[in-house]
Structure 1
Amino acid sequence: MNSKPLYGGAITAPVPDNYLDASDIRPIPDTQEVFISPDSPASIIFDLLEPVPEEDALLSHIDDITNLHDSPFKIIERNDNMAIVEQVVPYQGSVRMAIGLIRLEKGNADAVITWNHGSLDELANIINNFKVLDWNLFS
């Protein structure tokens, strides 16, 4: 994994070397950066969101993500800012996602990273090497 520029270079984070920038293929919302594997259905989504004021912000963001598919989910493994979530998604079957949260208090934002088919160790590497280079992104 090598660091890639996100959000016009305002942020950098590691992404697997063979993953493709989905914005080269389809429109992506301004708040997101999406990278897709050319060899599997795996993808990584970086999403800058309004901060969730609740103490358990990770669970709140997991609820938002899983509600998109309107099906139950279960948390397989969890620590303070990361979780492995399994959900049965219509027409896709069981999907396992590593979901991580970085609280960007200086930018008044939450960075949520969703990696389907990722592990907590791999996600921890992304979170630990996620760097904001230009806080003006949040102005």
Structure 2
Amino acid sequence: MSHYKSTPLFGGAIECDLPDKFADVSTLRQVPDNQEVYIDKDGFTSIIVEITERVKSKGTGLEADGRALTTHLEDLVGDDAETVKVWNTTETQITHLDETTPAYTLIATQTPQADEGRASAPDFTALILTLVRLEKQSTDILITINVPHIKGEYDEEDVDLALGKQGELIGDAVEYASRIWSTLDIKDWGLFKEV
């Protein structure tokens, strides 16, 4: 069971609980102003909270939001889109936001291309991507949990997403995401005028 601490993001404009074993990457290196990045001190998992301009797409409601989620996923994986498999997508409730605020989460995996040939490349990286759509603020909030699976660092027999077997690392990441959904709170809406 993970231990959590209430963590101020973007100068305290947003707060949520993050695992206490995660370190703020900005203390180690430069992080873009529209991102907060935390990495597991004992592993390879990272949590990124990013504020972006709202993706506008054709259609309304679920159709438009689904396209926005796809657009954000494609932006994240860049040229490696063909190496990504989305396993599921669900509507998500962010507890401290109005229940009509659209939010969605997907679980995907990205497998490195064979020609990368780096010994340190993960077997695959699991992504848990949550999109929160703030229409009045013309903003999308992305919460991405990246879970690299490096040979020898996880039990390969425990992971088979086609059979619903997430393994320990993805299971932990799902728990982190769930805790973020239940604790994410926007303390200063003025933040979205600055981005």
Q: Could you state the TM-score of these two structures normalised by the residue count of structure 1?
A: 0.90
The aligned counterpart of 2:111 is: 88
The percentage of aligned residue pairs carrying the same residue is 32
Partners of 2:128 and 2:43 in 1: CA distance: 16
Coordinate RMSD, CA, aligned: 1.7
SS state of the match for residue 27, structure 1?
Answer: coil
Could you tell me how far 1:69 is from its partner in structure 2? 4.3
Contact 1:83 / 1:100 at 8 angstroms: preserved in 2?
Answer: yes
Contact 2:19 / 2:176 at 8 angstroms: preserved in 1?
Answer: no
Which segment is superposed worse, 16-25 or 54-63?
54-63
Number of residue pairs matched? 139
Query: Among residues 122, 133, 138, which one is paired with 2:176 in the alignment?
Result: 122
* Structure 1: runs of 5 or more not aligned: none
Partners of 2:51 and 2:139 in 1: CA distance: 6
Partners of 1:70 and 1:92 in 2: CA distance: 16
Q: 2:145 aligned with 1:134, yes or no?
A: no
Distance 1:44 1:72, change over 3 A: same
Q: Which amino acid aligns with 2:135?
A: E
Could you tell me how far 1:23 is from its partner in structure 2? 0.3
Instruction: Compare the two structures and name the one with the higher helix fraction.
Output: 2
Alignment of 1:1-139 (within 5 A): 1-54=4-57, 55=64, 56=66, 57-67=68-78, 69=80, 71-80=82-91, 81-89=104-112, 90=116, 91-117=121-147, 118=170, 119-139=173-193
Q: Could you state the TM-score of these two structures normalised by the residue count of structure 2?
A: 0.66
Partners of 2:189 and 2:82 in 1: CA distance: 36
Partners of 1:3 and 1:87 in 2: CA distance: 30
* Structure 2: runs of 5 or more not aligned: 58-63, 92-103, 148-169
Larger Rg: 2
Partners of 1:70 and 1:84 in 2: CA distance: 14
